[in-house]
Structure 1
Amino acid sequence: MDDDGIETDAWAADEGPGPGAPIPASAAWREGDHPGRRLFLSLGDLPLEADPTGVLPDAVLAYETWGELNAAKDNAVYIAHALTGDSHVFGPAEPGHHTGGWWNAMVGPGRPIDPAKHFIVSANVIGGCQGSTGPASPHPEDGMPWGSRFPYVTMRDMVSAEILLANHLGVDKWRLMAGPSMGGMRALEWAAMEPHRVGAISPVGSTGATTADQIAWSTSQIAAILADPKFRGGDYYGAADGDGPHVGIGIARMIAHTTYRSAGELNDRFDRNYQGDSDPLGKGGLFAVQSYLEHHARKLARRFDANTYIALARAIQSHDVGRGRGGVETALARYTDKALVIAIDSDRLYPMQNSQRLDAALSGSDGIKVVHSPVGHDGFLVEAAQMIAFMEEFERTL
Structure 2
Amino acid sequence: MSIVGTDIGIVRTQYFYSTRPLVLDSGSVLDELVLAYETYGVLNTNRDNAILVLHALSGDAHVAGRHSPDEKYPGWWDEMVGPGKAFDTNRYFVICSNVIGGCKGSSGPLSVNPDTQSPWQADFPVVTIQDMVAAQTHLIDALGIEKLAAVAGGSMGGFQALAWMARHPNRVQKAILLATSAAHSAQAIAWNAIGRHAIMSDPRWCQGFYRADAPPHDGLAIARMIGHITYLSDASLSQRFSQRYQNATAPSYALADEFSVESYLTHQADKFNKRFDANSYLYITKAMDYWNVAQPGQSLAQALSDWHGQTLIISFDSDTLYPTGESVLIANALTENGADVESYELHSIAGHDAFLLESTSQTPLIAAFLRK
**Fold agreement, TM-score > 0.5:** yes
SS at match of 2:114: coil
Match of 2:301 among 329, 333, 349: 329
Residue by residue over 1:158-207, the C-alpha shift from the partner in whole angstroms, topping out at 9 and shown as x without a partner, is: 11111111111111111110001000100000000011111000110000
Native 8 Å contact 2:14 2:37 kept in 1: yes
Match of 1:110 among 84, 94, 98: 84
Instruction: Report the Cα offset of residue 266 of structure 1.
Output: 1.1
Native 8 Å contact 2:15 2:34 kept in 1: no
2:156 maps to 1:182:
yes
Equivalent residue number for residue 172 of structure 1: 146
SS at match of 1:176: strand
SS at match of 1:135: coil
In 2 relative to 1, CA 229–394 (structure 1 residues): closer, same or farther, beyond 3 Å? same
SS at match of 1:200: strand
Instruction: Report the Cα offset of residue 73 of structure 1.
Output: 2.0
SS at match of 2:118: coil
Native 8 Å contact 1:75 1:118 kept in 2: yes
Task: Kindly report the root-mean-square deviation, in angstroms, between the aligned alpha carbons of the 2 structures.
Answer: 1.9
Match of 1:208 among 164, 170, 182: 182
Match of 2:121 among 147, 151, 156: 147
SS at match of 2:112: coil
Native 8 Å contact 2:154 2:180 kept in 1: yes
2:362 maps to 1:391:
no
Equivalent residue number for residue 240 of structure 2: 269
Report the more deviating stretch, 176-185 or 263-272: 263-272
What is the number of residues matched between the two proteins? 358
Whole-Å separation in 1 of the counterparts to 2:70 and 2:216: 23
Equivalent residue number for residue 121 of structure 1: 95
Whole-Å separation in 1 of the counterparts to 2:118 and 2:368: 49
SS at match of 1:199: strand
In 2 relative to 1, CA 300–70 (structure 1 residues): closer, same or farther, beyond 3 Å? same
Residues 302-321 of structure 1: matches in 2 within 5 Å?
302-321=274-293
Equivalent residue number for residue 46 of structure 1: 22
2:210 maps to 1:236:
yes
Match of 1:159 among 112, 127, 133: 133
Q: Which amino acid aligns with 1:384?
A: S
Whole-Å separation in 2 of the counterparts to 1:272 and 1:361: 43
2:229 maps to 1:258:
yes
Native 8 Å contact 2:215 2:278 kept in 1: no
Whole-Å separation in 2 of the counterparts to 1:269 and 1:166: 42
Whole-Å separation in 2 of the counterparts to 1:145 and 1:99: 29
Instruction: Report the Cα offset of residue 114 of structure 1.
Output: 2.0
Whole-Å separation in 1 of the counterparts to 2:95 and 2:71: 16
In 2 relative to 1, CA 97–194 (structure 1 residues): closer, same or farther, beyond 3 Å? farther
SS at match of 2:279: helix
2:369 maps to 1:375:
no
Native 8 Å contact 1:67 1:120 kept in 2: yes
Native 8 Å contact 1:179 1:203 kept in 2: yes
The normalised TM-score by structure 1 is 0.86
Whole-Å separation in 2 of the counterparts to 1:340 and 1:309: 29
Instruction: Report the Cα offset of residue 93 of structure 1.
Output: 4.9
2:325 maps to 1:353:
yes
2:266 maps to 1:294:
yes
Native 8 Å contact 2:334 2:341 kept in 1: no
Equivalent residue number for residue 6 of structure 2: none
Higher relative contact order (CA 8 A, sep 6+): 1
Native 8 Å contact 1:43 1:164 kept in 2: no
SS at match of 1:334: coil
Residue by residue over 1:335-385, the C-alpha shift from the partner in whole angstroms, topping out at 9 and shown as x without a partner, is: 121000010110011011101111111243444112210110011122110
In 2 relative to 1, CA 395–301 (structure 1 residues): closer, same or farther, beyond 3 Å? same
- State the percentage of identical aligned residues: 40
Instruction: Report the Cα offset of residue 208 of structure 1.
Output: 0.5
Whole-Å separation in 2 of the counterparts to 1:316 and 1:43: 26
SS at match of 2:32: strand
Whole-Å separation in 2 of the counterparts to 1:98 and 1:306: 24
Report the more deviating stretch, 219-228 or 60-69: 60-69
Structure 2: any 5+ residue segments left out of the alignment? 1-10
